[in-house]
Amino acid sequence: MTDLIENHKQEEKMEKPKNSYRLEKFNKVNEQFFNYYRLQEIIPPNEWDMFIQTLREDLPSSFRIQNCLPEKETLIQYLEEKYFAPLRDLNDESIHAPESILFVENAFQTNMSRSTVRSHPILRDLHEFLINENTIGTMSRQEAVSMVPPLLLDIQPQHLILDACASPGSKTMQIIELMHKKSSHPDGLLIANDVDYNRCYLLVHQTLKRMPTANCVVVNTDASQFPSVLGPDSKPMFFDRVLCDVICSGDGTFRKNPDLWRTWDTQKALNLHKIQNSIASRCFELLEVGGLMAYSTCSLNPIEDEAIVAQLLRKFGDAIELVDVSQQLPGLKRVAGRSYWKVLDKNLKEFSSYNEVTSNLKNVFVPSMFPPSDEESKRFNLHRSFRIFPHHQNSGGFFVALLKKVAAVPGFDPAVQPRKPPMKKRRRTFREDPFVFLNDNVEELQSDLEKHYGVDKAQFPFNNILIRTHNTEKKKCIYYVNDKLRDFLRVNSERYKIVNAGVGILRRVDKVSASQFRLMQDGLDALLPYITKRIIDVDEDDMTLILNGYEDNHYVPLQHLNCQEILSQIECGSIVLHLKKSNFETHVTGWLGAHTVSAFISREEKIHILSMLGQDASKLKLKVLTVRKEKGLKKLANGGGDGGPKEANQEADLEVD
Ligand SMILES: C[S@@+](CC[C@H](N)C(=O)[O-])C[C@H]1O[C@@H](n2cnc3c(N)ncnc32)[C@H](O)[C@@H]1O
């Protein structure tokens, strides 16, 4: 094994030019991994070859239509008619039309490798379309098995939810969607947390930019020390739901991260076990009685999976129950969790109990790594947790356990702040702009919105408006939060490093305009129910022209529009363009100039609307493709594409063309 790693290192030094990561062919062998899992006997011997063979194959691409998207049905029909059916009709064995993922609603998977995408124009076009839709959040590209934990949590709009290890946010996105499924303005709150400050921004960029919402806050803290949330009365609150998708060795992701063939070793799981334990334990403490917590990893290793669940069951005794989810998600093939596993050192020598661990290794191995006693096994029901194997449904590997708090934890006082571990190295100072509620400074805004947009100040919750600076004169962007997020920020701002909260609804404008503020598309949903002026009903021809632009210019002269007369009677400034065509309805923020009108949304959003209307979007698609190519080239020139963070890899095959 050591030789193998050494060989790789040598080859790397000699042959690998900088940034050639994606071009390199991996030798998909790791003897230590093979031997470790053979010894664990998790995979039945007759499935072993299939297991390894599947790990060596590329992971299919999977995508999910946004759960709460009003035009979900129109989008699915569009995909079916424009791409899926024509691909099936090709009757070409080498080309697979996307197929439904059986355990997730409106989710599909297919092979989207570079060579496949290049093999047919329909696939190429579909690939581009999916990138667009993913960019604007109407669709999310997410590994199929990673969609499982939020689906088990029975998420409701009013819940207080903690996503403890949230970045890059694929499950955060799913939770937000589930909260919005039954209510377009959920009154619950999602706290998305990650210990890594930069990854908090990745989360904001990859999730909240695509799904702006008034009920989510991003905080940056160590989940194992997570401070309890104080309610409006300053009393600690408990979470209705917790997602504990912990950091792990990730050996369920070999297919997505081929670098693991080179880097996997037994130590990673052993090193992570302690922090996984602490995070899971703290999260469970903060759960409401009757509340649910999903513990999940993308690792197949029992040291990171059942051992953590067993320790929770041991520690919380009568307060905890491992929930039987065998009847949920019927299409999902899974294997019951185990009550027995082996604890192995790096030479794959087994310790059958903690007593056998030699004193020099007591800092590596801890008692919680060992399987439960016979008596514990009977009580724990570890078979209710489950593992997903890659070869069972052409997916990645995953582990999930659903835990319920059935009674209060005796002696636990949520008011007591957990001890902060000593900081190893001082990280750079946290310099976020403060979140400041407008409160007394809201009059100017109130009268502006009332005069120009017809927003009744008695109706709109102006208490929920905030800016991100103490200097109210400098406020450029105005954010909106729901009631629970407002209360959270008021009471808890000093307790958390808050990275992002709420949704931008208005922006101050410098141009000649009726109002000092223009409407932002991100927050339009929040403001729309209160706006009674400057909403213009347009017909399909006008909307198509405004979205496509006029002669390569996105400002469309009014004389070319059917709604010219209506628009010419309105003062310049921000407007809402409204169109309803059978099941599809859209509100688009726009800008009305003296002689022109334009849509204030991204090119990708324009493509989406045009596609839903069945209109031609080819000009915009070409522009988007050109811009993406230029960005890709710039990134490559700046040293991108070197296999950096995992997220970059996950997006890799979406970014290429
Ligand atoms: C497996 S990833 C989470 C993936 C994410 N849930 C998703 O679905 O996109 C684990 C995350 O945990 C974060 N993490 C590691 N240690 C942590 C800690 N002590 N507290 C909170 N987050 C932590 C890592 O920075 C990483 O972003």
Average pLDDT over residues 473-499: 93
Q: Is residue 456 part of a domain?
A: no
Catalytic residue among 298, 477, 563, 572: 298
- Which is it for strands 477-480 and 498-501: parallel, antiparallel or unpaired? unpaired
Centre a 10 Å sphere on the Cβ of residue 376 and count the other Cβ atoms it contains: 14
pLDDT at 3 over 80: no
The more confident residue out of 545 and 512 is 545
Percent of the chain with pLDDT over 90: 81
Q: Are 314 and 366 in contact (CB under 8 A)?
A: no
Distance 412 CA to ligand 1 centre (A): 25
Q: Are 185 and 482 in contact (CB under 8 A)?
A: yes
Count of domains for the chain: 1
Is 572 assigned a catalytic role? no
Task: Report d(CA 24, CA 18) in Å as an integer.
Answer: 11
Distance 533 CA to ligand 1 centre (A): 44
Three-state DSSP state, 279: helix
Q: Which of 145, 146, 167, 221 has most ligand 1 atoms within 8 Å of its beta carbon, as the pocket-test mutant?
A: 167
Half-sphere exposure at residue 9, Cβ-oriented, CA atoms within 13 angstroms: 7
Distance 513 CA to ligand 1 centre (A): 45
Q: Which residue has the tokens 């105005």?
A: 478
Q: Are 254 and 261 in contact (CB under 8 A)?
A: yes
Give, using CA atoms, the residue closest to atom 25 of ligand 1.
196
Using the 8-state DSSP alphabet, how is residue 226 labeled? P
Instruction: List, for residues 336-375, the tens digit of each pLDDT value.
Output: 999 999 999 999 999 999 999 999 999 999 999 999 999 9
Instruction: List, for residues 103-153, the tens digit of each pLDDT value.
Output: 999 999 998 777 788 889 999 999 999 999 999 999 999 999 999 999 999
pLDDT at 656 over 50: no
Nearest ligand 1 atom to the CA of 246 is 10
Q: Name the helix (H) or strand (E) containing 171.
A: helix 170-181
Tokens (6 digits) for 114: 């570079």
Distance 169 CA to ligand 1 centre (A): 9
Q: Is residue 573 part of a domain?
A: yes
Q: Are 193 and 221 in contact (CB under 8 A)?
A: yes
Helix axes 72-79, 603-612, angle to 10 degrees: 80
pLDDT interval class at 441 (50, 70, 90)? confident
pLDDT at 427 over 60: no
pLDDT interval class at 652 (50, 70, 90)? very low
pLDDT of residue 653: 29
Angle at the Cα of 535 from the Cα atoms of 529 and 541, rounded to 5 degrees: 125
Q: Are 366 and 29 in contact (CB under 8 A)?
A: no
Angle at the Cα of 534 from the Cα atoms of 530 and 539, rounded to 5 degrees: 110
Give, using CA atoms, the residue closest to atom 6 of ligand 1.
166
The answer to whether the peptide bond before residue 168 is cis (omega within 30 degrees of 0) is yes
Q: Are 405 and 286 in contact (CB under 8 A)?
A: no
Nearest ligand 1 atom to the CA of 248 is 1
Distance 194 CA to ligand 1 centre (A): 6
Average pLDDT over residues 77-96: 93
pLDDT at 310 over 60: yes
pLDDT of residue 92: 87
Q: Which residue has the tokens 């491992």?
A: 322
pLDDT of residue 53: 97
Q: Is residue 544 part of a domain?
A: yes
Give, using CA atoms, the residue closest to atom 19 of ligand 1.
222
Centre a 10 Å sphere on the Cβ of residue 558 and count the other Cβ atoms it contains: 18
Average pLDDT over residues 81-105: 93
Window from 198-212, 227-241, 522-536, 628-642 with minimum mean pLDDT = 628-642
pLDDT of residue 94: 85
Q: Is residue 578 part of a domain?
A: yes
Q: Please, what is the average pLDDT of the chain?
A: 90
pLDDT at 4 over 80: no
Task: Report d(CA 146, CA 255) in Å as an integer.
Answer: 14
Q: Which of 146, 153, 165 has most ligand 1 atoms within 8 Å of its beta carbon, as the pocket-test mutant?
A: 165
Task: Report d(CA 402, CA 133) in Å as an integer.
Answer: 32
Average pLDDT over residues 82-96: 91
Using the 8-state DSSP alphabet, how is residue 107 labeled? E
| Cβ contacts of 321 within 8 Å, gap of 6 or more | 403, 404, 406
What is the greatest pairwise CA distance in the chain?
87
Q: Which of 64, 175, 195, 398 has most ligand 1 atoms within 8 Å of its beta carbon, as the pocket-test mutant?
A: 195
Dihedral of CA atoms 598, 601, 605, 607 in degrees, nearest 10, equals 30
Q: Name the helix (H) or strand (E) containing 388.
A: strand 386-388
Q: Is residue 267 part of a domain?
A: no
Q: Is residue 234 part of a domain?
A: no
CA 64 and chain centroid, separation: 12
Instruction: List, for residues 8-30, the tens digit of each pLDDT value.
Output: 344 344 344 444 445 456 689 99
Ligand 1 shell residues, CB under 6 Å = 146, 164-171, 193-196, 199, 222-224, 245, 247, 275, 279
Nearest ligand 1 atom to the CA of 275 is 19
Residue 599 structural domain = 534-616
Q: Which residue has the tokens 């309610």?
A: 231
Average pLDDT over residues 62-78: 96
Identify which of 351, 329, 350 has the alpha carbon closest to the alpha carbon of residue 398: 329
Tokens (6 digits) for 308: 């953590």
Positions of E strands within 145-274: 160-163, 189-193, 216-219, 229-230, 236-237, 239-245
Average pLDDT over residues 428-441: 78
Task: Report d(CA 295, CA 276) in Å as an integer.
Answer: 10
Give, using CA atoms, the residue closest to atom 17 of ligand 1.
195
Q: Is residue 376 part of a domain?
A: no
Distance 408 CA to ligand 1 centre (A): 27
pTM of the model: 0.92
pLDDT of residue 639: 66
Distance 268 CA to ligand 1 centre (A): 15
Nearest ligand 1 atom to the CA of 247 is 10
Q: Is residue 104 part of a domain?
A: no
Three-state DSSP state, 414: coil
Q: Which of 203, 246, 247, 268 has most ligand 1 atoms within 8 Å of its beta carbon, as the pocket-test mutant?
A: 247
Give, using CA atoms, the residue closest to atom 24 of ligand 1.
247
Helices (H), 215-336: 260-263, 266-285, 306-316
Q: Are 487 and 235 in contact (CB under 8 A)?
A: no
Residues of each annotated binding site for S-adenosyl-L-methionine: 194, 222, 245
